[in-house]
Amino acid sequence: MTILFIDSFDHYIDLSQKYTGSRYATISSGSGRYGTAGVHIGYGSGSSPGYFYKTFSSSEYIFTAGFAWTRTVDRGPMVSPCQIVEFYYSGGVSESVSVSLGREGELYIGTGSNSATTLGISTRKTVPNKSYYLEFSVLCDQSVGQATIRLNGTKWIDLSDVNTSPYTYYGNIFDTVKIHAGGEPNIDDLYISNDIEPLGDVRIFTLYPSLDGATSQWTPSSGSAHYSLVNESPPVTTGYVSSSGSLTDLYEFDTFEYGIGTAQAVQLNHLLASGTATTGTLDIYGKLTSGSLSYTTSASGLAGSQTTYQYKSFIIDDDPITGKEWLLEDINTYQFGIA
For the chain, what are the domain ranges? Answer: 3-193, 209-338
pLDDT of residue 7: 98
pLDDT of residue 165: 85
pLDDT of residue 116: 76
Listed as ranges, residues in the chain with pLDDT below 70 are: 1, 75-81, 92-95, 113-115, 166-171, 259
pLDDT of residue 80: 62
pLDDT of residue 81: 67
CATH topology of domain 3-193: Jelly Rolls (2.60.120)
pTM of the model: 0.94
pLDDT of residue 96: 86
Cα separations in angstroms, 271 against 163, 195, 302, 306: 40, 28, 11, 12
pLDDT of residue 275: 81
pLDDT of residue 338: 97
List pLDDT tens digits, range 299-324. Answer: 999 888 889 999 999 999 999 999 99
pLDDT of residue 276: 79
